[in-house]
Amino acid sequence: MNNKLAALAAALFVIVFGFEVAQIKGQFTPVTQNLQMIGYELFGTGSVVGRYVVPFELLSLILVAGIIGMFYIAGRED
């Protein structure tokens, strides 16, 4: 019964949100991405100023905290 209900929930989810997703408009002509732009956006100074360096560092801080927590939890011997 659990499986059927889960399948039903997932199907309902797809139908409802599919309606919304179908409204997204855009072109899919793949344009050549310049990988350099990603680096500029992240860390750039000078002519192109990066905007994402601070969130990057903060996020890494949080992840480090998570990893240290993982060390503690997994390392308990009880």
Partner 1 sequence: MYLFLVSMLSLILFAVGLYGIMVSNVGIKMLISIEILINSAILELVTVAVSSGTVDPIILALFGIAIGAVESVIGLSLLTATFRRIGNVAIALLREIKW
Partner 2 sequence: MVAPYLPGWFIFLSPAIGAPVSLIVGRHKRFWAGIIASLSILISLILTYVAFVQVGTSGPIQNQYLWFFNINVGVYIDNLALVMAFMVSFVSLMIHLFALYYMGKDPNKHVYFAETALFTAGMLGLVVSSNLVEFFLFWELVGLCSYLLIGFWYFKPNATSAAKKAFIVTRVGDLLFLVGMAVLYESLIGYTFSPQGTGPLDIPFLISHAASVASYIGATRLGIVAVLFLAGAAGKSSQFPLHVWISDAMEGPTTVSALIHAATMVTAGVYLVARVFPLYYYSAPFAVYSVIGMGAFTAVFAGIVGIFVNDIKRILAYSTISQLGYMLSAIGIGALAFPAVAGSVGYEGVALGIFHLISHALFKALLFMSAGAILIALMDLRDTREMGGLWRRMPVTVTLLFIGSLSLVAFPGTTGYFSKDAIISAAWDYHLAFAGVAAYLPWILLVTGSFLTTVYTFRMFFRVALGKPRSHLAEHARDPRLLALLPLIPLAAGALVLGPIQGLFYGFLDPSSLIPSVPFAIESVPVILLAAGIALTYILYGTDRWKHISVDSNPLYRVAKNKFYLDYAFTNIIAERVIAPISGAFTAFEDAYNSAVDAFGSATSSFGTTLRRIQDGIVENYFIVLIIGLAVIFIIVGILGMM
The site for partner 2 (CB under 8 A) is made up of: 2, 5-6, 9-10, 12-13, 16-17, 19-20
- CB 35 within 8 Å of CB 25: no
Residue 51 is given by DSSP the state S
Among residue numbers 47 through 76, which ones bind partner 1 (CB under 8 A)?
A: 52, 55-56, 59-60, 63, 66-67, 69-71, 73-74, 76
Reading the block at residue 64, the tokens are 């480090």
Does residue 43 touch partner 1 according to CB under 8 A? no
16 — alpha (psi -120 to 50), left (phi > 0) or beta?
alpha
- CB 41 within 8 Å of CB 51: yes
Kindly list the residues in this chain that would bind partner 1 in the complex (CB under 8 A).
2-3, 5-7, 9-11, 13-14, 17-18, 21-22, 24-28, 30-31, 33, 37-38, 41-42, 52, 55-56, 59-60, 63, 66-67, 69-71, 73-74, 76, 78
